[in-house]
Every structure is written in C-alpha cells, then in structure tokens.
Structure 1
Amino acid sequence: MSNSRAVLRKKRKKRILRLSLLFVFLSLFAAGILFAIDIFYSGYKATDSIYQKLGPEKNQRAEEVEVTKDPFTILLVGLENQEGGKGRSDVIMMISVNPQTEEITMLSIPRDTRTFIPDAGYEDKITHSYGHNGITSTIDTVEEMIDVPVDYFITTNFEGFEDIVDTLGGVTVDVPFDFQAQLTGSLKWKKYYEGEMDLNGNEALAYVRMRKSDPRGDLGRNERQQQVIKEIIDEGTSFSSITKIDDILNDLGENVKTNIPPSKFASFVKLYSKLKNTQINQLSLKGYDDYIDDVYYYIPDQDSLNEITLSINQTLDGESSYNSSEDTGLNTANNDN
C-alpha cells in the first residue's frame, strides 16, 4: 500500500512539474507575442513619421527597385540647423550599391564645395542647397554635379545622431591619431587618443565632425564618418539591442527622414547582412581651395567629377572600374574598420 502511495506521489509531482513547465512556456510565449506586437506597433508609428515621399516633380524609376537584386544609390545627409529655421547639409555622402557584384562605392562631398544649385539659380556652397527647398534641392544639386540619379535618401539631424548612439550604449572606435575636438552644447574640449575609445553620442558627433586637425583633411573626416556609421548599424542590428528597439525607433522617428518605403526595411537589413564585410571603394573629389569675395570655397576639378561619375555608373552597371584608382583618387576601405 505504501509503495502505491509513493508511486502516486511521484506521478502527481511529475504532472505538477509538467503543468508548471507548460505554464512557464505559455507565459513566455504570450510575453513574446506581446513584445512582438509592441515592436510592430512602435515600428508602425515610427516608420509612419520617418517616411517622406518625394514630390511628383522628381523623376522616379519606371520600375520598382528590388534592393536585394537591383543596383541603387542612397544619399546620406547630416543636417545642421541654423537660427531662423533654415538647415544646412553639413554631411553629404552618396553610396552606390550593386547587390549582384557585391560592390559598394562611397563618395563624400565636402560641405564647402562650390557648385550650381538649381533651386537657387546660381553657384554656392553645396551645404547651402538644403536651405532652398529641403532635401529635394540637395538631391537636385548632387545629381546636377555628378550626373548620377539618386534613388533613396536618408537625412538625420545631429540631435538624432547623438540620441541613437546613446540609446545603443555608445560606440567603440579606433581613433587614428591624438587630437582635440569641441563638443556641441557644452563647448568643452574633448581629448581623443590613438587607439580604441568608447564614445557617447556627444563625443561621437564631435569625432565625426572634426576636420581642421586631421592631416588628411576631408578624406580623413569621411573615413571617420564611415567608421562610426558602420558601428551604429552593427550595434543596432545586434541581438543585444533588440530590447532597445522601442527607444531606437523613437529616436529615428523624431530625427530621421527617408523615402525608403517601410515595406523595404527588411530587404535592406537582409542586404546589409550579406554585404557588411564587403570592402567599400571610397571615391574622393579632387579640387583646390579658393576665396571668392572673401568667402572660402572648395573648387571641384571637372576631370575628377567626370571620373567619379564614370566610376559610380560602372558600379551600378556591374563593370569593375577600380583598376584606375590612382587616376580617380579612389581609396579602398575595408568595412570591418
């Protein structure tokens, strides 16, 4: 009799354990569903505020771009707000991607580049293009200068940049040399030492904006920008950042605008995971410094512009153009940096 009671007790304990495990599993499953719903809802709200369709006056492709298959271009613009509500395009990068050949080119255009601004009707610094008709004016100016169509754009202001870096817990960068840079807001000077450094949002912004102390000028600045952008993307797409998705989406929703449809976001993540270790072929715009009416300008070399246009179009067409890097001023930077 005692043996049968012991057997019953064991069976009862096993049944309770199974029920407990089932309860825990169902609780976790339900929590996962609620978390997914929360992410989807937050993502829907954020992408709704992020998305900015270009006006009908902009020529769009006849056929929709399949980003995992078709070559495309993205214009990245970092905005600096001025008093009076006008903004300046302080950072301008044109990225060309060919998913089939797995080639990426990046052109950073110095903010003081003198070029024709269609919406203004005269030549001026390209940084002033945004102040005439927003991102449409900057796109028109870039297309006029290098004769390559812009498929997508992404804009962010400096506050958004800082918020995103802070939400991710900062970024780790490999500082190329010792220098000092002034922080925005506090105007304090920050010392950067050669080697790995952990930076918060405010420090990372000063790191990517500094150029006067860089012996390589805008080229060095452009490479630091590329370095930090990759760190942000890598950290933002890591598993450890999934719990921060609400905050990240809120930061993006408040400070980022793009004409990339929300339906394509997953395709871009898929493409990035495929190309994240691909070398970036960095194009540099040759030119010279000049003063016109006591105002400093960077005057681009027309031959360099022609070579850049050819290189980008060859990337988009799937033709290798990197054997003549000495002539085009092209740098190959590994995306792992």
Structure 2
Amino acid sequence: MAHRRSQYYQDEYFEDEEQQEETDFRRVKHKPPHHRLKGCFFWFLLVTVVICIFGGRYVYHKYQAAHTAVTQFHKETGIKKARDTSQVLKSGKPVSILLLGTDTGALGRSYKGRTDTLVLVVLNPNKKAMTLVSLPRDTKVAVSGHESDYPSKLNAAYAYDGSASAMKTVQKYLNVPVDYYATINMGGLENLINGVGGVDVTPSLTFSYGGYSFSKGQKVHMNGKKALAYVRMRYTDPRGDYGRQERQRQVLMATALKAVSAKNLLNEQFLQTFSKQITSDLTFNNILLLAAKYRKATHHMNSTNLQGQSQMLDGQSFEVPTEDEKQRVTDLLRSALELTPAQTGSTLNSSDQISIN
C-alpha cells in the first residue's frame, strides 16, 4: 500500500509524451554539470527576490499598492521554523530562502503539480555574497511526515503537503535551517514574459517542441507560450536536463533584463499580475527588511549543485548523491549562513532536530 501511495504522488501527472521521452533518455549518459545551476525556474524565482531587494525605495513610496500585492501572495506554511526567522532578518544575519518552481498553470495543468525546481539561496550581507545550491528534483529522500513511502523523489514533497513538506524535507536532508520559501508556477513565467512584451533569445540548439521550432544560432522573438516550449524540452536535448537549464537561464535572464528596464516594472498593474503567480511566507515587513539590510548580498554570487548518480529503483530513476557530496553542500551552506560545521542530515533520521548554531 505504501508503495502504491508513493507511486501515485510521483507519477500521476506525467504526460504520455514525457513518459516516452524519459524512457529514451534513460539510455543517455549524463555529463557533469560543471557547477551549472540546476532547476527549471529558479532564475525567475531568484529575480523575484532580487527585485524585492533592489525595489526597496519604490516599495516605500508606493506603500499601499505594494502592501496589497504582497498580502495577496503571502501564505504561511503552518510549520514551526527551525529558528526565529524574524529576528534573523531584524539583526541582518544570513538568511536562507528555498525557491520552488512548479509545473502548475502551464500547458493546461490546474493540479498542484510537482516542483521542477528546488534551489536553496543564502543571502549573506556581511560577506556581500549570495550562495545558490540547486537540488536535483529526483533526489532520493524520505518526505517529511511521509517516511513510510520511502523512497520518494524530492520533487514529490510538494505534492504531499505543499511548500511545508518541501521545506522540512530539504532542511532535514542537509541539516541546514530553511528560513523562508518562494513558489511560482510555469504559468506565471508565461504571463511575465507576455507582460514585458516577449523576449529575444538565440537558441542554443535546433529542435521542435510544443508546436514550435527553434534553430540554433538564429535569434527569435518569443512570446510566453513559445518561450515556455523552448525552456521545457528536456529529453531530446543531448545534454539532458543540464541543457534545459541553460535554455531556462537564457529566457529568464532576458526577461529580467527587459523587465528592469521597463518604466512600469513595479507599477500597480504589474504587481497585481505578479501576485497571482507567486506564493511566499515573506511578509511585507520581511521584504522591507530585505531591501534595507540585504542589498549588498547580491554583489557576489557563488553557485553550485548537489550532484548525484542515477539509480533505478522499482522502475524509477533516482539521483543519489554520496555522503561526501552531501557533506560538501552542507558545509558550503552552513558556512554561508555563518553557522558552525555540522554533519549532513538524513531524511530517515527519526529526529527532526536541525543544528542552528
């Protein structure tokens, strides 16, 4: 019965086309990412945080409009945080934000969806640095609160209990506190691209997907739907998921650059549209503190990913990092958070205690 429940949450929403593509893709050997950032929509989520940081002055002058928009996308998880996150922000200490990208709202999907993207970001104003660690969505874990369904994929955590189970699973897996989260759906990406009038992108390879064709090296103007098709294709890319990540960065950075040059970037209409696509437990006051204390944390960026090895279990492909690799990532994140070194975590550990010192 536990196996069937796990299979339900992990596989229910795969489309026939992607199932066939994945079957073919399993025969392709992955290439090392060379520290490329993983994830489907983490750049868009990251831009969200950066906009909040650099938009502090605007937020101050447009208080009412911004307050209304933030209130609309604010959603608490209901979980007890590993530490007093409000005090962390007030004191200007390093803070962590889990960025989640879901496939809800795209290609006609209306269900809760899975998290195609999981990136843990640490903002350290003292070191004037931002650290990003991408977590493979197929990482083998026991989802917090649903350990009987082990093994599960990390992206299934969101399908169980939303952002709450994703946060608890990640922090237990790596033994680092996760202070806040921000989630956006693929439909939100489409709307944002349309909101800035589309983007110009030079495709990195030639392929067809979702009714659109792309030619390598030929710049093309993309609306939201076309850009979504460009970033979504994965299994027929010779570089697999890593190639898709590069395409996603292309589109999302092009969108960000165009958005920040637009005069109406943070007008009320934009905020209202944006607030319908994102959920976060960051409050309006939290965002003001980020704007006041954490702007310099964006001066330098250190990025990496948790690298796993593919394993087939019960007909499913998992990514399984070594303990040394997990420890490397834990050490990096804890150092960025200015916490003392500690052993990496385990989702099978009966204790939910997270080292926060």
TM-score (norm 2): 0.67
Instruction: Verify: 1:260 aligned to 2:282, yes or no.
Output: yes
Partner of residue 26, structure 2: none
Q: Distance in 2 between matches of 1:303 and 1:173?
A: 38
- Cα pair 1:67 1:267 within 8 Å, conserved: yes
Partner of residue 282, structure 1: 303
Q: What SS class does the counterpart of residue 98 from structure 2 fall into?
A: strand
Q: Distance in 2 between matches of 1:262 and 1:192?
A: 43
Q: What SS class does the counterpart of residue 267 from structure 2 fall into?
A: helix
Partner of residue 322, structure 1: none
Partner of residue 249, structure 1: 271
Q: Which runs of 5+ in 2 are unaligned?
A: 1-58, 341-357
- Cα pair 2:306 2:321 within 8 Å, conserved: yes
Aligned-partner residue type, residue 212 of structure 2? W
Instruction: Verify: 1:141 aligned to 2:169, yes or no.
Output: yes
Matches within 5 A, 1:119-268: 119-121=145-147, 122-173=150-201, 175=203, 177-180=204-207, 182=209, 187-194=210-217, 197-238=220-261, 240-242=262-264, 245-268=267-290
Instruction: Verify: 1:109 aligned to 2:118, yes or no.
Output: no
Partner of residue 49, structure 1: 72
Aligned-partner residue type, residue 133 of structure 2? L
Partner of residue 53, structure 2: none
- Cα pair 1:168 1:244 within 8 Å, conserved: no
Partner of residue 10, structure 1: none
Q: What SS class does the counterpart of residue 101 from structure 1 fall into?
A: coil
Q: What SS class does the counterpart of residue 65 from structure 1 fall into?
A: helix
Q: Distance in 1 between matches of 2:190 and 2:205?
A: 22
How big is the shift at 1:318?
8.7
- Cα pair 1:68 1:99 within 8 Å, conserved: no
Partner of residue 297, structure 1: 318
Q: Distance in 2 between matches of 1:312 and 1:144?
A: 13
Per-residue Cα deviation, 1:129-188 (whole angstroms, up to 9, x for no partner): 11111100111111122221111111011111111121122334464x213252xxxx31
How big is the shift at 1:211?
3.2
Partner of residue 9, structure 1: none
Q: Distance in 1 between matches of 2:297 and 2:226?
A: 28
Deviates more, 1:191-200 or 1:302-311: 191-200
Higher strand residue share = 1
Q: Distance in 2 between matches of 1:59 and 1:207?
A: 38
How big is the shift at 1:276?
4.9
Aligned-partner residue type, residue 100 of structure 1? N
Q: What SS class does the counterpart of residue 264 from structure 2 fall into?
A: helix
Q: Residue 222 and residue 198 in structure 1: after superposition, are their counterparts in 2 closer, same or farther (change >3 A)?
A: same
Q: Distance in 1 between matches of 2:181 and 2:246?
A: 20
Quote the RMSD (CA, aligned, Å). 3.3
Instruction: Verify: 1:99 aligned to 2:125, yes or no.
Output: yes
Partner of residue 23, structure 2: none
- Cα pair 2:101 2:184 within 8 Å, conserved: yes
Q: What SS class does the counterpart of residue 145 from structure 2 fall into?
A: coil
How big is the shift at 1:63?
5.3
How big is the shift at 1:50?
0.6
Partner of residue 315, structure 1: 336
How big is the shift at 1:220?
4.2
Q: Distance in 1 between matches of 2:136 and 2:263?
A: 33
Aligned-partner residue type, residue 105 of structure 1? T
- Cα pair 2:86 2:286 within 8 Å, conserved: no
How big is the shift at 1:43?
2.7
Q: Distance in 2 between matches of 1:220 and 1:68?
A: 40
State the structure with bigger RCO (CA 8 A, min sep 6), 1 or 2: 2
- Cα pair 2:123 2:298 within 8 Å, conserved: no
Q: What SS class does the counterpart of residue 64 from structure 1 fall into?
A: helix
Q: Distance in 1 between matches of 2:235 and 2:145?
A: 30
Partner of residue 89, structure 1: 115
TM-score (norm 1): 0.71
- Cα pair 2:129 2:298 within 8 Å, conserved: no
Higher helix residue share = 1
- Cα pair 1:285 1:301 within 8 Å, conserved: no
Q: Residue 62 and residue 77 in structure 1: after superposition, are their counterparts in 2 closer, same or farther (change >3 A)?
A: closer
